[in-house]
Homo-oligomer: A and B are copies of this chain.
């Protein structure tokens, strides 16, 4: 222990939020607050004070905010984050002899036991404060000290001693030279709102051509924008748009022998025509992409690209940079495997090769290349099969120059690996939502994600389906099941997405029984559809996304609370803004076959609803309006009509709280 540290009397412990002992940043988006708490205490009975210090990475000096005591030696303060990038925060604490003296003087006055000596101690402390203060404050403090020293009337002196304004001045100029600074500076990464809130739509451009049999283009995708915008999506995510390899190209339904007409998997990236920087000639050109990005932007839609760091055997780098791949003893390049399965159409990159720095830099340059073409959102394919340190480095490097970039981690893997990827910098992460179907599963999982410290770094993205996953629930439940999963995804998750048009068209046929793969998967072939079939959910999707945009309660996850329902097939939960001016209550029938009914028991205080006033619930999904009263209310949902209520609550009276843990 350093010699001077031995004189620090104030301890600062249990700082919150803090991820993995400060190893990782916490996450916020523009406009949120960081509410910081800590145990701060000293030995003995002296009064202490503490301050939250914070500064943006661009600032060289700290802003200071006095912390407020919460009782039990816990203190709190908060600051808002208004700029992208990194903020730092830490805490200072110090013993304040002047505040101690004032507090004790008050007790002595109450007990009528003030001595002259007690007052003179204060004079000394005020003069010391004056010595630390700028001139104008010093003058006032010295005058105060003089009165306290010289005033003849002792009781008058007591009154003067307790002057609030002068007292505050003396406290402000406390001696902090022996104060304690918390051992760590903690970091907040601030990202765009889209990192927290957005509705995503995944779509294969090559399936977008209106003429039967034609390979769709980026221009066709652009023509599809009105359809996507009408459903109210914020992000249009495109699978890889690069040239596709020929060698070992997969055929329809992932067959090993692709024929000459097979289009191949977009994830088998690279051909003689180019690699990760090129656009597949059948899709169009870089200019076409830029036009699509612009056209989408004009409709409020952000285009997201796929980062799949792997190569087809035909990728130019395989020839140009063989040292970036792993070689087998026979000199061939090692293809991807999960023994005994082989993926001969894909070569993984060897992130640990001798020229790892060259490889890493190239991959960063690929990201920068697309950023320069207007892309700000990347869905990252299988990040868990590449080194954690690579992603930590890449994301930090990219965000240093482009703090507005959002990375979505597509890691459907073990929980600790998913959390690690989130901690090291991914803005958002796919979740197990896809396989959580029962009330118990949903309640447990989303309580973990949204009510524990996981939420400080892991932002969930809820996807009912992806091109890789047609869940059993969707396979079995038909259209009602799709609506259930849509309602859950869009209200449990501030960020959610669907793979369309498979989703809104309720495509539910697996490749074979027991498989989660789609039959005739778009991963291996062009799939054109009639979008105007009556079973389409486009109207419902549109209604849900409209409700999401209109209700700030649904823009964040931290306020999620589950409410009791006396029927396990019905789930009920709420989200709200911090001030409870916007409250959304959701009830979903998880049973896609039968009508379920039951009584919900609402936590009215949580909802800001007075116990003795009726309140209106307005269904933004199904459009009904009901007048409810008190905590217990009846619900009944027929899955073949509409299996979910998304209620906006409209109590006549609002309660408010000044201070809350989320936005």
Chain A interface (Cβ within 8 Å of chain B)?
Answer: 1, 5-9, 11, 13-14, 20-23, 39, 41, 43-45, 72-73, 104-105, 107-108, 110-111, 113, 116-117, 120-121, 123-124, 178, 183, 328-330, 332, 337-340, 352, 356, 360, 384-390, 392-393, 414-417, 420
Contacts and interface: CB of A to CB of B under 8 A. Distances in A.
16 contacts: A7-B352, A9-B389, A21-B21, A23-B183, A41-B420, A43-B384, A43-B385, A43-B388, A104-B339, A108-B339, A108-B340, A111-B339, A113-B340, A117-B332, A120-B329, A121-B328
Contacts of A104: 337, 339
B117 A39 contact: no
Contact of A121 (B108, B111, B329, B360): B329
B417 A41 contact: yes
A340 B110 contact: yes
Nearest to A100: B339
Nearest to A123: B329
B340 A107 contact: yes
Contacts of A386: 43-44
A475 B124 CA distance: 47
Given A329-B120, A329-B124, A414-B73, A387 B13 contact: no
Contacts of A340: 107-108, 110-111, 113
B20 A13 contact: yes
Contacts of A39: 416
A456 B113 CA distance: 46
Given A73-B416, A120-B328, 9 more contacts: A6-B390, A9-B352, A11-B420, A13-B20, A13-B420, A108-B339, A108-B340, A121-B329, A123-B329
Nearest to A328: B117
A124 B330 CA distance: 12
Contacts of A73: 414, 416-417
Contacts of A72: 414-416
Nearest to A386: B43
Contacts of A183: 23
A534 B212 CA distance: 105
Nearest to A329: B120
A329 B414 contact: no
A274 B330 CA distance: 88
A276 to B, nearest CB: 20
A416 B74 CA distance: 9
A654 B564 CA distance: 43
B329 A117 contact: yes
B6 A393 contact: yes
Nearest to A122: B329
Contact of A416 (B13, B44, B415, B417): B13
Contacts of A356: 6-7
Contacts of A110: 340
A22 B20 CA distance: 11
Contacts of A7: 352, 356, 387, 389
A1 B41 contact: no
A23 B386 CA distance: 33
Contacts of A393: 1, 6
A389 B44 CA distance: 13
A387 B41 contact: no
A381 B45 CA distance: 16
Nearest to A119: B329
A223 B107 CA distance: 48
Contacts of A352: 7, 9, 178
B388 A9 contact: yes
B417 A9 contact: no
Nearest to A385: B44
A13 B1 CA distance: 26
A146 to B, nearest CB: 15
A427 B72 CA distance: 24
Contacts of A124: 329
A192 to B, nearest CB: 25
A387 B43 contact: yes
A432 to B, nearest CB: 13
A41 B338 contact: no
Contacts of A389: 1, 5-9
A11 B388 contact: yes
Nearest to A384: B43
A337 B113 CA distance: 12
Contact of A9 (B6, B9, B20, B387): B387
Contacts of A45: 338, 385
User: Most B CB atoms within 10 A — which of A45, A110, A111?
Assistant: A45
A388 B44 CA distance: 10
Nearest to A43: B387
A111 B328 CA distance: 20
Contacts of A328: 117, 120-121
Nearest to A342: B113
The 4 closest A-B pairs by CB, nearest first: A111-B340, A21-B21, A120-B329, A104-B339
Contact of A41 (B8, B9, B360, B414): B414
Contacts of A107: 339-340
Contacts of A11: 388, 420
Contacts of A9: 352, 387-389
A535 to B, nearest CB: 40
A45 B413 CA distance: 11
A360 to B, nearest CB: 8
A426 to B, nearest CB: 13
Nearest to A326: B121
Contacts of A385: 43-45
A399 to B, nearest CB: 15
A469 B7 CA distance: 33
A332 B116 CA distance: 13
Nearest to A21: B21
